[in-house]
Chains A and B, each alone.
Chain A
Amino acid sequence: MTDQSTKSSSQLHWLYRPENRPKLWRGLWLVLALSLLPELFMHHHGNLESQGVTLDSSPGFYGWYGLIACALMVIVAKGLGFLLKRKDSYYHD
């Protein structure tokens, strides 16, 4: 973001113009909504029915599972970071 403030908005690439940010976010929400659309008229065949597990055939499972799994991994990484992170010159000192 540092050198963007010195340039006028029109010199920046479309992606970096501040006025386009909300559009990018709206685009993301739209794509997510579109990906959930098929849930309305199709039923997923469960992979684990032979074991009596039906969670994976419930509507929208892959969406929330992906979201929560990733959020958890980021949070765990962040937490471990406090323990494990060192300056990148750590081994050179």
Chain B
Amino acid sequence: MIEHFPPGLLLVIIGLLLPFVSVLWKRVLLLAGPMLVLLLVWTLPLGTSSSVMFLEYQLAPLEITVLGRLFATVFALMAFAGALYALNQAKTLELSAAMIYAGSAIGVALCGDLFSMFVFWEVMTLGSTLVLWAAGTDSAWKASFRYLMVHLFGGVVLMVGIVAHVYASGSIEFGPIGLSHWSGYLILAGFLVNAGAPPFSAWIADAYPEASPSGSVFLSAFTTKTAVFTLMICFAGTTALIYIGLYMVFYGIIYALLENDMRRILAYSIVNQVGFMITAIGIGSELALNGAAAHAFAHIIYKGLLLMAAGSVLYQTGKRKCSDLGGLFQSMPLTTLYGTIGALAISSVPFTSGFVTKSLETAAAAHERLAWVWFLLLAASAGVFLHAGIKFPWFVFFQKDSGLRPADPPATMRWAMALFSALCIGIGLVPQLFYQILPYPVSYQPYTLSHLVTQFQLLLFAGAAFFVLLPMMKRTLTISLDFDWFYRRLFPSVVERGSVAFVHWDQRLRQSCVALVYRMLDFLALHLPEARLSRTRLTSSMVMWVAVILTGYLTLSFV
């Protein structure tokens, strides 16, 4: 029985149970659930698969592959650390939604057919929207609606693509699809909406920073990375993804450089990081796919850690703008330490997880003789240090002294950060152990003297550029316009102005119709059969009037 039960469903069930159990049981379920899933994922042998008949299709809600196991592992780790971080301060609604969200993401990672994938995919949308709602603020409420609209749109596109694909190919297998049939483009577009690809990149920076401190930690992990997973399964080696990924890489850097809200900086940085992965998926070699998978794994951990640090600052100070923060290292030493470890890891500083994972992707670009991609990825690696590696810790924990002296956050939040910090460094120190769980065999050696020296040079000079150009990066109380301007400003204003104009013209049209009716009535009053101008007259009266006229003539002729 147990080998046919999708482990992700366990977290979904826990999520549904949470509102009905005592506080103690809630804690037990939240922490034991993800661990149990982890245990299941690693005890079920590779290739395990279950099948359920649905109409005339044979569904496979559970199928364990090496790649799926890797993603399910990091999703379960994230659910555990996120639950630990949120344990004492998050609302039950948020925790329930987060478990459903995490469980359905694990479901996507461990399923074998397109229908099951789509069902888990849509449950993720609902779970993540509820995580946002749970923040309870007006701005979160509005942002969650925009978030839901974007994802329901993406879901519809995906569904149409899947139906057309199944109709054309007769197969519901969740495997390589490619772009040979037009349905492939729709499926690709549906996945890319969730990945934050252009033009739908803005939803990440719009929605995630509005969640609660722990909510944004959960949100950062699952949606974009399941999209990376599905793209790896269905569209590995699709060249267009190289261009899309590179666009996302630089989009993320530029927008993060312009941003003032610390959690928005990190949200733009998600687009940047996912861009690296999508570029690697576009390259499509075994080395590149290993790189994308490893980078996704490492990224979930260090981005979760960075958002936990940002969440701790928000939780303790109630402030989220860089222009209000600074100098916090004096009273939040642990948060500063953990945040800095996350920042070093995202920047691929040697001996962290970023160094041993992202370098697989750049090495793949060189290996596939894509020199221009290699140069752009190298520039972007320097840019990551600039916009996330230094900018985030510098403006939040250092820069000017804001005078704020908040303490470090409560113990459970610190433990979660400590756990993820340890993983960031652990993966960086023993990469060969980590490489063993990647989908393809790895012969890559990250720790060569030349790689260490060149990486330090790249990052140190990028850091120097940051401090030299600091006057150009003065924080301003601004946001930056993005594609969401079209659906938040242009469309509403077009609809509003259009409706005002319509009411006006409608009024004039109806007024002129009424005037026309009145004129016709006047006309008829004269011309109806009995009206004055069209009345028939008696012959006798005509004879009488002729007699009168003739009498008149006769009378006048005598004058």
In the complex, what's the smallest C-beta–C-beta distance from B349 to chain A, in angstroms?
Answer: 13
Known: A35-B456, A88-B260, A91-B488. A65 touches B464 (CB 8 A): no
| B454 close to A42 (CB less than 8 A) | no
In the complex, what's the smallest C-beta–C-beta distance from B529 to chain A, in angstroms?
Answer: 65
B469 proximity list for chain A (CB < 8 A): 70-71, 74
Q: Pick out which of these stretches binds chain A: B121-129, B222-230, B472-480.
A: B472-480
The CA-CA distance from A32 to B68 in the complex, in Å, is 42
Known: A69-B462, A74-B469. A50 touches B386 (CB 8 A): no
The residue in chain A whose Cβ has the minimal distance to the Cβ of B365 is A47
A26 proximity list for chain B (CB < 8 A): none
In the complex, what's the smallest C-beta–C-beta distance from B395 to chain A, in angstroms?
Answer: 14
Known: A42-B449, A48-B371. A69 touches B327 (CB 8 A): no
Interface string of A62-81 (1 = CB under 8 A from B): 11111101111111111011
A80 proximity list for chain B (CB < 8 A): 254, 258, 480
A65 proximity list for chain B (CB < 8 A): 378-379, 382, 458
Q: Does A44 contact B (CB under 8 A)?
A: yes
Interface string of B465-508 (1 = CB under 8 A from A): 11101001100111111100000110000000000000000000
The CA-CA distance from A11 to B387 in the complex, in Å, is 31
The CA-CA distance from A14 to B33 in the complex, in Å, is 46
The residue in chain A whose Cβ has the minimal distance to the Cβ of B142 is A91
B449 proximity list for chain A (CB < 8 A): 38, 42
| A16 close to B462 (CB less than 8 A) | no
Q: Does B317 contact A (CB under 8 A)?
A: no
| B480 close to A71 (CB less than 8 A) | no
| B374 close to A48 (CB less than 8 A) | yes
Q: Pick out which of these stretches binds chain A: B20-28, B397-405, B406-414, B516-524.
A: B397-405
Q: Does B369 contact A (CB under 8 A)?
A: yes
The residue in chain B whose Cβ has the minimal distance to the Cβ of A70 is B465
In the complex, what's the smallest C-beta–C-beta distance from A32 to chain B, in angstroms?
Answer: 6
In the complex, what's the smallest C-beta–C-beta distance from A23 to chain B, in angstroms?
Answer: 14
Q: Is the interface of A mostly helix, strand, loop or mixed?
A: helix
| A85 close to B479 (CB less than 8 A) | yes
Q: How large is the interface on A (under 10, 10 to 19, 20 to 34, 35 or more residues)?
A: 35 or more
In the complex, what's the smallest C-beta–C-beta distance from B198 to chain A, in angstroms?
Answer: 15
Question: Among B258, B366, B458, B466, which residue has its beta carbon within 8 angstroms of that of A63?
Answer: B458
The CA-CA distance from A90 to B477 in the complex, in Å, is 11
Question: Among A3, A15, A48, A72, which residue has its beta carbon within 8 angstroms of that of B366?
Answer: A48
Q: Does B450 contact A (CB under 8 A)?
A: yes
A38 proximity list for chain B (CB < 8 A): 449, 453
| A71 close to B465 (CB less than 8 A) | yes
Question: Among A16, A66, A84, A88, which residue has its beta carbon within 8 angstroms of that of B401?
Answer: A16
Q: Does B461 contact A (CB under 8 A)?
A: yes
* Most interface-central of A48, A61, A64, A80 (chain B CB within 10 A): A48
| A67 close to B464 (CB less than 8 A) | yes
Question: Among A63, A74, A87, which residue has its beta carbon within 8 angstroms of that of B472?
Answer: A74
The residue in chain B whose Cβ has the minimal distance to the Cβ of A67 is B461
| B460 close to A35 (CB less than 8 A) | yes
A88 proximity list for chain B (CB < 8 A): 260-261, 321, 477-479
A48 proximity list for chain B (CB < 8 A): 366, 369, 371, 374
A61 proximity list for chain B (CB < 8 A): 454
| A42 close to B258 (CB less than 8 A) | no
In the complex, what's the smallest C-beta–C-beta distance from A53 to chain B, in angstroms?
Answer: 5
| B401 close to A3 (CB less than 8 A) | yes
Interface of chain B residues 423 through 473 with chain A (CB within 8 A) = 449-450, 453-467, 469, 472-473
Question: Among B254, B454, B467, which residue has its beta carbon within 8 angstroms of that of A73?
Answer: B254
The residue in chain A whose Cβ has the minimal distance to the Cβ of B465 is A70
In the complex, what's the smallest C-beta–C-beta distance from A91 to chain B, in angstroms?
Answer: 6
The residue in chain A whose Cβ has the minimal distance to the Cβ of B206 is A91
Known: A44-B454, A76-B254, A81-B258. A70 touches B371 (CB 8 A): no
Interface string of A37-49 (1 = CB under 8 A from B): 0100010110110
* Most interface-central of A44, A69, A71, A86 (chain B CB within 10 A): A69
In the complex, what's the smallest C-beta–C-beta distance from A28 to chain B, in angstroms?
Answer: 6
A36 proximity list for chain B (CB < 8 A): 457
Question: Among B403, B465, B481, which residue has its beta carbon within 8 angstroms of that of A67?
Answer: B465
The CA-CA distance from A86 to B450 in the complex, in Å, is 44
Known: A65-B382, A73-B254, A85-B480. A47 touches B363 (CB 8 A): yes
In the complex, what's the smallest C-beta–C-beta distance from A11 to chain B, in angstroms?
Answer: 11
| A85 close to B478 (CB less than 8 A) | yes
| A53 close to B371 (CB less than 8 A) | yes
| A74 close to B257 (CB less than 8 A) | yes
The residue in chain A whose Cβ has the minimal distance to the Cβ of B138 is A92
The CA-CA distance from A64 to B473 in the complex, in Å, is 21
Task: State the A residues within 8 Å of B (CB).
Answer: 1-4, 12-13, 15-16, 28, 31-32, 35-36, 38, 42, 44-45, 47-48, 50-51, 53, 56, 60-67, 69-78, 80-81, 83-88, 90-92
Subset of 26 A-B contacts with CB under 8 Å: A13-B401, A28-B463, A28-B464, A42-B449, A45-B450, A48-B374, A53-B371, A61-B454, A62-B457, A66-B462, A67-B462, A67-B465, A69-B382, A72-B379, A73-B383, A74-B465, A80-B254, A80-B258, A84-B258, A84-B480, A85-B481, A86-B478, A87-B478, A88-B479, A90-B479, A90-B481
In the A-B complex, the 7 residue pairs with the smallest Cβ-Cβ separation, listed nearest first, are A70-B465, A69-B379, A47-B366, A77-B257, A66-B461, A62-B457, A66-B458
A62-B458, A65-B382, A78-B472 known; 14 new pairs, CB 8 Å cut-off, are A13-B330, A32-B460, A32-B461, A44-B453, A50-B369, A62-B457, A63-B460, A63-B461, A65-B458, A71-B465, A73-B383, A77-B258, A81-B478, A88-B479
